[in-house]
Copies of this chain bind each other. A is one copy, B any other.
Amino acid sequence: MSAPIRVLVWNENFHETMQQHVKELYPEGIHGAVAAGIRENLGDAVVVETAVLTDPEHGLTEERLAQTDVLLWWGHAKHDDVSDEVVARVHRHVLAGMGLIVLHSGHFSKPFISLMGTTCSLQWRSVGERELVWTVAPNHPITRGVPSPLPLAAHEMYGEFFDVPTPDELIFISSFEGGEAFRSGMTFRRGRGRIFYFSPGDQEYPIYHDASIRRVIANAVGWAAGDARDPRAVPEVRHATVKAWDV
């Protein structure tokens, strides 16, 4: 239990560089705020790095992923600019055991869609509505120390139907000022990897500065790490020539 969890926060880093009001909300970038929240909660138990779209190979080389226990993903306007080769690499590492936390508009990212196999479509409206995030799995490690409801004064609305597979675990559901409801926190196991989708975190609102949101994300890092530090191994087909009774 002594080696720190190696965390990599990935962000397309577009809005922050192009839109002044987003830059003011996130002067260190969304990735910077997310990384700060993880460090704040987990301290020496983690080593947190960041990568952005414009890095060579988007900062997601084979070597980098091989040394990443948990990858966080934030994207929105530039999903299509992520190369298919890198997407396949991320997908493979998740199946081999790397944890993946997909944030907010990452629901439409290529890695998430390819791992889910569905459209991942939903309803949305961005007019700064109040959102309440309710815990429905009170004994799950991701909810530890998180208030229920977790209030967000103003946020983008994400509503059902959210076209994802039945989650392995439903952790949070949200209600919005406008009346919509949403499954806002869900886990999915794929191959040897653990995936957590968490919807709060639009670029227009200071969500990632919220202490409880940071707590959820830090908890999720701990959960998603799982056995990520074991030797990475994609499940493989095997010709079992010897009968199991004879082994």
Contact = CB atoms under 8 A, between A and B. Distances in A.
Interface of A: 1, 91, 95, 97, 108, 114-119, 121-125, 129-130, 132, 134-139, 141, 144, 148-149, 151, 157, 159-163, 165-166, 168-170, 173-181, 183, 188-194, 226-227, 234-241, 243-247
16 contacts: A116-B117, A117-B117, A118-B191, A119-B236, A121-B236, A121-B238, A123-B240, A130-B179, A134-B160, A139-B193, A141-B226, A144-B227, A149-B179, A165-B189, A173-B181, A181-B181
Nearest to A243: B178
A123 B243 contact: no
Given A136-B160, A160-B173, A239-B125, A247 B165 contact: no
Contact of A191 (B141, B163, B237, B241): B163
Tell me the number of copies of this protein: 4
Most chain B CB atoms below 10 A, which of A129, A139, A148, A236: A139
Contact of A227 (B122, B141, B148): B141
Most chain B CB atoms below 10 A, which of A108, A130, A179, A238: A179
Most chain B CB atoms below 10 A, which of A132, A134, A190, A247: A134
A165 B188 contact: yes
